[in-house]
Structure 1
């Protein structure tokens, strides 16, 4: 195991929750404070960054904080250390603690905030509530000497090419004859300068998502024996890798809205919540959005959900939900704290696989601003 630097840790994080998944305009994700160009032995994972969390990071000797809510949400007009925010930034900088924020990209990511909430609520047969991101598929067709085809095929598969649904390393090959004449200055793998050459070749075809194009091309070029490999690259009219905000799933057994509200309290560890709708209504299908879900009541209704679990519901939005026959359970914004345990465990696994020696510390600071009386 080797000591990691900040860049290595965040590179692993972004392999799971890349910035491209962010679905809010100008979402201030990424490195917010400090530098990643340093060794990191401990990372504090938190929902929010306030002065108490900064003190916790100092006490626990963490060099990096990964937070869900960005500590700098709007552009700064100035940086004054006589304001609460300025004092926080000063404390973090003076103690050489970097802060990295993953906001809506972590909401969308598979295994991110919304999946963690759906897991906690024990939802089955899950689907995306609102699609926010998708990639096109690409196809690579490369011509390889027959006795080297397997090496090239395996290299592309290791780079992620040929992943289709629940299958991996998918490819198609056809045999044929390759012809070429090496010119002066070439260093041919087969044949001689100036002579027309003919050899048995395989045409290997693989598909992959657009985001890994460079990785697949690099794998193919590095494993190919030819000095100048011949290949075709297409963008297909097939969309894949759909991702989005929120999740919709079914309960293992139906229950009344009143009982479901108690289920939410127990699963999400909240003492109080708000409910919209007839508490005797039967609940089977559930939509969930972490944080503020005011914009998604109609998406929840279209999904066929009986109830929508989300936070920060406004008065008039609650009335609109009532009018369209959608029940709501509002346990508050702070239930996104499920990301603390989820991110820490995911990153421990990724760093262990990469043989990086990093400890992920789960914040114990309660950043919920509301007190229920």
Structure 2
């Protein structure tokens, strides 16, 4: 029978997708309340940690809440039941519920919030809108007996090594002979203690993003037959995948701004949205920045974006966008709720794959503060 994951297990699997180093400087990500050093039977995914969301978590006997928007963004001067924030923290601690936040790292990660929004729009041909850097890469070289090279290669590839463009399991190998002498206290796979052993081996090379290196090395060691695995790591100057905020993509055919706005309204299931620009104008290149994208309108226009979808659009920013020929659609900040199902799907799959009996559910509370009348 499978056992529940610990909080550390859950976050380790989660951060293999949305590592902390992707977050923008100063972002309040990570552990906010409670401990990860405990068994976690139930995880709940939410956009916001409000009091009614915490009440829902208490009712459902949740052990860990994973939120997109940080619970504590500004320092708390006091914790008292006289205000909502204080009551939230009090209830969380009283009921042993842990809160963890993944904010801009979830926005930036491949397959994260902005890709999920593009999925809702049905735009598949996309790239990063606001480039912020590229993945650091290393070359892993491991020496494997010829008899086990296929097992090790498969394990490396399945762990994420050897991905180049749209190709996976990319390796290069050369044949050679390895030597070793097992000393006292060893339990060698091949050879005898005190005797020099010569083995036909393969030098296997592959490329690995630093963000998943520990996972790849663990898979390599678990699949390798030797008691002590010989491997080398080489830093590379090759640039890995570009990462950054927002996404840019193209519709298959240009349509009017009005038609596209109606499509966005249906895709995001909102009762209304704000649009700037000539509704009869033909548009094709679409930019998306989940949350507040006001400060990125100039960069979006320089990238050739016809329409930028973002939330919390300011009055004067809308005028600036009009002046530079950029249309903006504001369906609200709350469309980031797409992350709830996205995170649930990913974590459920990973926990099951790793043999953990931990349930992942989404919060059913609507945390959008606005209503359209």
Query: TM-score if structure 2 supplies the norm length?
Result: 0.88
- 1:308 is aligned to 308
The offset of 1:59, in angstroms, is 2.0
Query: Do the aligned residues in 2 keep the contact of 1:21 with 1:133 (CA within 8 Å)?
Result: no
**Residues 74 and 120 (structure 1 numbering): CA distance in 2 closer, same or farther, change over 3 Å?**
same
**After the TM superposition, which of the residue ranges 73-82 and 186-195 deviates more from structure 2?**
186-195
Moved more, 314-323 or 303-312: 314-323
Q: Deviations over 1:23-43 (max 9, x none)?
A: 2x2211112111222333322
Say whether 1:132 aligns with 2:132: yes
Task: Give the Cα separation in 2 of the matches to 1:149 and 1:30.
Answer: 39
Contact 2:256 2:279 in 1 (8 A): yes
Paired residues of 2:184 and 2:193 also in contact (CA < 8 A): no
1:324, distance to aligned residue in structure 2 (A): 1.2
Give the aligned partner of residue 368 of structure 2.
368
More strand by share: 1
Whether 1:288 and 2:308 are equivalent positions in the alignment is no
Residues 199, 78 of structure 1: CA spacing in aligned structure 2 closer, same or farther, 3 A cutoff? same
Deviation at 1:278, TM superposition (A): 1.0
Aligned to 1:59: 59
Alignment deviations for residues 103-151 of structure 1 (CA, whole Å, 9 cap, x no partner): 1111112222111111111213111111234222222334445455445
**1:57 Cα shift?**
1.4
Alignment of 1:305-344 (within 5 A): 305-344=305-344
User: Which residue does the alignment assign to 2:261?
Assistant: 261
Distance in 2 between residues matched to 1:252 and 1:217, nearest whole Å: 42
* Unmatched tracts of structure 1, length 5 or more: none
Please say if residues 16 and 212 of structure 2, whose CA atoms lie closer than 8 Å, have aligned partners that are also in contact: no
Count of matched residue positions in the alignment of Structure 1 and Structure 2 = 370
Aligned to 2:96: 96
Relative to the length of structure 1, the TM-score reads 0.88
The equivalent of 1:249 in structure 2 is 249
Does the 8 Å contact 1:45/1:343 carry over to 2?
A: yes
Deviates more, 1:316-325 or 1:203-212: 203-212
The CA deviation string for residues 346-372 of structure 1, in whole angstroms up to 9 with x for no partner, is: 222222223323333322222222233
Counterpart-to-counterpart distance in 1, 2:32 and 2:69: 11
2:165 alignment counterpart = 165
Instruction: Name stretches of at least 5 consecutive residues in structure 2 with no aligned partner.
Output: none
SS in 2 for 1:357: coil
The alpha carbon displacement at 1:22 in A equals 0.9
Question: Residue 79 of structure 1: SS of its match in structure 2?
Answer: coil
Q: Is the 8 A contact 1:48 1:68 kept in 2?
A: yes
Whether the 8 Å contact between 2:16 and 2:211 is mirrored in structure 1 is no
